[in-house]
Amino acid sequence: MLAIARSELIQIFRNRMVLVTSFVIPVAVSAFFVYRHEVFAQLASFGYIAAIIMFTVGAFGLYTSIVTTLASRRQNLFLKRLRSTAESDAGILAGLVTPATVVALVQLTGILIVFGLVAGRPDNVPLLVLAVLATVAMMVGLALATAGVTNSPEHAQVTTLPVSLGVIAVSSWVGITGTAELELVKRLLPGGAATELMLNAWNGGVALSDSLVLLGPTFAWVVVAVSFANRMFRWEPRR
């Protein structure tokens, strides 16, 4: 697995298109939110900005990168060749998704630290860490599921749009309007509970027990996504 991960990391930094579209652009967009945080905070709160940053990197960086990578490796038969090695299926997938996941976590850590220095320290850092880890797990699961129905790297530009735009839209909806109305609906949508968890972590004012409950819907999406991936994922090129 480590050898696969190391090789994949090298490929990421060699592929300028993937590096720019999946990693540089999300960081640039996040930096804009940090720079203009006072303006965006007027819509809701600093917690809302933190949630948008989290999903910008998670959706347009991590999620899109994993789907494109898996579709590309399937198309050039690299996945098929890896299955002829002693590495297990789980180890192969872990090796392929680990570099993008680590890079996304490093990006989020750096951006949120800068945001905290600019806008003020979050109320509950451990809860913020849980929110980030839960969101990253959800986006990895959704990426594996989407890769199952993606025929090629070019096709990934289409198949990733619904989830990428969807989680950003849900995050904005929850971050701006709160959960006073349609609470259950907002929490059950992908990204809704994670956004509320980030709001609680950054803004404070909510009991820890009430916040931890929000991990349930987020990890439920991980289970749903992985179950879908188990059914739909293919190791040979899709026709």
Q: Are 203 and 47 in contact (CB under 8 A)?
A: yes
Tokens 């594996």, residue?
144
Beta strands in 49-188 (DSSP E): none
Average pLDDT for runs of 10 along the chain of length 239: 77 71 78 75 84 92 91 85 82 90 92 88 91 94 92 88 94 88 91 93 85 91 91 79
Token digits for 69?
């990578």
Sign, CA dihedral 102-27-111-223, equals negative
pLDDT of res. 232: 85
Name the residue ranges covered by the structural domains of the chain: 2-232
Three-state secondary structure string covering 155-192: HHHHHCHHHHHHHHHHHHHHHHHCCCCCHHHHHHCCCH
pLDDT of res. 29: 82
pLDDT of res. 238: 64
Q: Are 144 and 225 in contact (CB under 8 A)?
A: yes
Q: Which of 6, 135, 151 is nearest to 68 (CA)?
A: 151
Cα–Cα distance, 112 to 49 (Å, whole number):
10
Token digits for 124?
């509950």
pLDDT of res. 75: 86
Contacts of 66 (CB under 8 A, 6+ apart): 96, 97, 100, 101, 140, 143, 144, 147
